[in-house]
């Protein structure tokens, strides 16, 4: 592992944060009703993971593009997952913005808005051979995907 700025990490964070900032003005109907019932342990894991991933992905240069190797497939697939994440958001912003739209799947990936970026960052950790990012992503994934699955179940029960 090598300390240094990661432009790939910055690109991923921009791809992650831009639609989330837009989302704050386009939340699904009744979202606040579900958000207040979030599991506190999952929420702590999500918050810790968000901070850790955001920092770690920027401070290791190992995530930047280097000469092609078999490890490069991890970066390529990871970037593909981030592109699918952007497609998920385009679809959401064009929808009626219901809870069902927000927690929908994409190409068979459940709760795509949570699962796709977590998987992308995990593959980025593998590409960079960075155990710290991998552990942070696992913590983030348990919290973030867990919360999204709980919200989806609650929304389905309230239909």
Low-confidence ranges of the chain (pLDDT < 50): none
Distance CA(145)–CA(142), nearest Å, equals 6
Distance CA(69)–CA(73), nearest Å, equals 8
pLDDT at residue 158 in the model: 74
Reported as a single tens digit per residue, the pLDDT across 24-53 is: 999 998 888 878 888 999 999 999 999 999
* Residue given tokens 């497609």 in the structure block: 87
Q: Is the pTM of this model over 0.85?
A: yes
- Confirm if 6 and 123 have CB atoms less than 8 A apart: no
Distance CA(154)–CA(43), nearest Å, equals 16
């Amino acid at each position: 592992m090598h300390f240094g700025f990661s432009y790939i990490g910055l690109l991923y964070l921009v791809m992650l944060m831009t639609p989330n900032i837009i989302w704050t003005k386009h939340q699904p109907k009744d979202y606040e009703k579900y958000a207040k019932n979030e599991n506190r342990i999952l929420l702590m894991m999500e918050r810790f993971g968000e901070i850790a991933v955001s920092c770690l992905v920027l401070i290791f240069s190992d995530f930047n593009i280097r000469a092609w190797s078999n490890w490069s497939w991890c970066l390529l697939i990871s970037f593909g997952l981030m592109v699918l994440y952007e497609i998920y958001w385009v679809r959401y912003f064009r929808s009626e913005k219901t809870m069902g739209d927000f927690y929908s799947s994409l190409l068979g990936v459940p709760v795509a808005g949570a699962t796709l970026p977590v998987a992308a960052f995990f593959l980025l950790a593998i590409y960079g051979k960075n155990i710290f990012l991998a552990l942070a992503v696992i913590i983030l994934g348990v919290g973030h995907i867990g919360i999204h699955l709980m919200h989806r179940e609650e929304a389905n029960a309230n239909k």
